[in-house]
Amino acid sequence: MWFAKPKPTQRQPHEDAVAWARKETLAFTVWKCKVYSVRVGVTVSLIVFTSKGMPLHFLWRWLAIPLLLAFGCLFTPLLYYSFMALGELLDRPGKSS
């Protein structure tokens, strides 16, 4: 399932410990990126629909500050986990031919 949390696996004796740890970390980081992406998307859609000129603009007076604070609180972890995922992807050892 796309949104399911990855299940932790046990390292097999023949498996490289570093490669196994990277695989586990990357799986968890990608899952966290998905979670925060969905949360940020919902918050952005709420901000768009309640901002001036949109159908629910009359709610902007009461929801502006809470929605913007929620967006900031959700966007920061998304950036963090996105940079972690990017770092894990860039840190992979090159494949020798």
Q: Is the pLDDT of residue 82 over 70?
A: yes
Between helix 60-90 and helix 17-50 the angle, nearest 10°, is 160
CA-to-CA distance for 5 and 25, rounded, in angstroms? 12
- pTM across the whole model: 0.68
Percent of the chain whose predicted confidence (pLDDT) is above 90: 1
The top-scoring range by mean pLDDT among 40-44, 54-58, 85-89 is: 40-44
Q: Is 95 left (phi over 0), alpha (psi -120 to 50) or beta?
A: beta
pLDDT for the residue 93:
64
Q: What residue segments make up the domains of the chain, in order of their start?
A: 20-90
pLDDT (mean) for 14-40: 85
**Helix-strand-coil split of the chain, %, nearest 5:** 70, 0, 30
> What percentage of the chain has pLDDT greater than the value 70?
92
